[in-house]
Amino acid sequence: IPTIIVEAHDELARLVAGRIATLMREREAAGRQVVLGLATGSTPIGVYRELIRMHREEGLSFAHVISFNLDEYYPMRVESIHSYRRFMWENLFSHVNIDAANVHIPDGALARAEVDAACAAYEDAITAAGGIDFQLLGIGKTGHIGFNEPGSGESSRTRMVHLDSITRRDAAADFFGEENVPREAITMGIATILGAREIAILATGEHKAGVVRRAVEGEIDRAVAATFLQRHANTTFYVDDAAAADLT
């Protein structure tokens, strides 16, 4: 996977936000919509902050943006402070001129019996929008992208999954205790992600160095979902110095 190493987190955010803005402006000039696949978590917050700045100061418009988020915890009430829906509105959507009807986030509040149909509908909505033009990803300590934990197959699609115990431990502080972290989630699959025309995967901090090395240099293997990105022709790994420390 082609890798870009930068010194600091804000430089990485500027680079990635700049690439997204370029794509958005090209599409706007052509009178076309642009489909963005978005992630939550701490890593993309700087990218969203920079996009908001460009919206405010440079007139970057989101009027023609259609978005699909990667995942949501299950179960998850819409109004919960932990919901990814809330995260996205707080960290990006409320601050820009995106049409709420164009925002798609898996619904963690569905009854269990409704989930399979909703996952199929999510895939259909991505297809109907013309596919994802640009997918933003973080990487978990387990090597997950979205919530595709170890064992997720290359042909997996949007579905309900069990969260790995390492992932639940990593989320424990946010939820004031591991016992409060949901055991399941709804996530786009590996095949859904690999369907994007362009992918940017971001990692910062020394705690990601081991998994970055495994993802970039390791054998393609279900044990580390991010290794499947090696098969994607247009993926770039953006890392800071700390996360790049173990690369050879």
182 touches 73 (CB < 8 A) = yes
Q: Considering the complex, state which of residue 26 and residue 206 has its C-beta at the smaller distance from ligand F6R.
A: 206
Burial of 113 (0-12, 13-18, 19+ CB in 10 A): exposed
Q: Least separation, in Å, of the C-beta of 38 and ligand F6R? A: 8
Q: Considering 50, 72, 123, 149, which one is annotated as catalytic?
A: 149
**Using CA atoms, how far apart are residues 101 and 104, in angstroms rounded to an integer?**
8
Other Cβ atoms less than 10 A from the Cβ of 50: the count is: 21
Distances (CA, A) of 221 to 150, 168, 193: 9, 22, 16
Do 232 and 37 contact (CB within 8 A), yes or no?
no
Closer to ligand F6R by CB, 71 or 240: give it. Answer: 71
**Sign of the dihedral defined by the CA atoms of residues 70, 190, 196, 112, in that order:** negative
Compute the distance between CA of residue 76 and CA of residue 191 in angstroms, rounded to an integer.
25
Nearer to ligand F6R, 27 or 118 (CB): 118
Binding site for ligand F6R (CB under 6 A): 39-43, 70-71, 138-140, 144-147
User: Nearer to ligand F6R by C-beta: 62 or 147?
Assistant: 147
CB of 59 to ligand F6R, least distance (A): 28
Based on CB atoms, which residue is closest to ligand F6R, 25 or 222?
Answer: 222
* Closest to 187 in 3D by CA, of 155, 162, 224: 162
- Nearest position to ligand F6R, beta carbon: 138
Active site residue 184: no
CA torsion 138-73-66-212 (nearest 10°) is 10
Minimum Å distance from CB 29 to ligand F6R? 30
CB of 220 to ligand F6R, least distance (A): 18
Q: Report d(CA 26, CA 208) in Å as an integer.
A: 33
Compute the least distance from the CB of residue 57 to ligand F6R, in Å: 26
Q: Which residues are the active-site residues? A: 149
